[in-house]
Amino acid sequence: MLQKIKRKFKIGALMLDDPNPDLTIDQVREIHSKQYPLVRGVTLWESDGEVAEHNGEQVFLYTYNLPPTSVNG
């Protein structure tokens, strides 16, 4: 039997679980953007997922590359 590889999402050092494996990447980004608003402006594609090891298991890792924070002054 084939086992589906889990997806994980990374913001900086923070690792986020996949809220629902049946959702598209855009739908997951929308869910994550409710708690992490900077994610709203990031584009992820299915092909951005990289196979990585997390806690001893293989996962597809999607990294949110956030824009640099602008500071006035």
CA-nearest of 17, 69, 24, 26 to 44 is: 26
Instruction: Give residue-wise pLDDT tens across range 16-65.
Output: 999 999 999 999 999 999 999 989 888 899 899 999 999 999 999 999 98
Backbone conformation region of residue 41, classed left if phi is above 0, alpha if psi is from -120 to 50, else beta: alpha
Kindly report the pTM of this predicted structure: 0.84
Has residue 56 been placed in a domain?
A: yes
Has residue 1 been placed in a domain?
A: no
Has residue 73 been placed in a domain?
A: no
Domain of residue 31: give its range: 6-64
Predicted pLDDT of residue 6:
93
* Domain count of the fold of the chain: 1
Has residue 71 been placed in a domain?
A: no
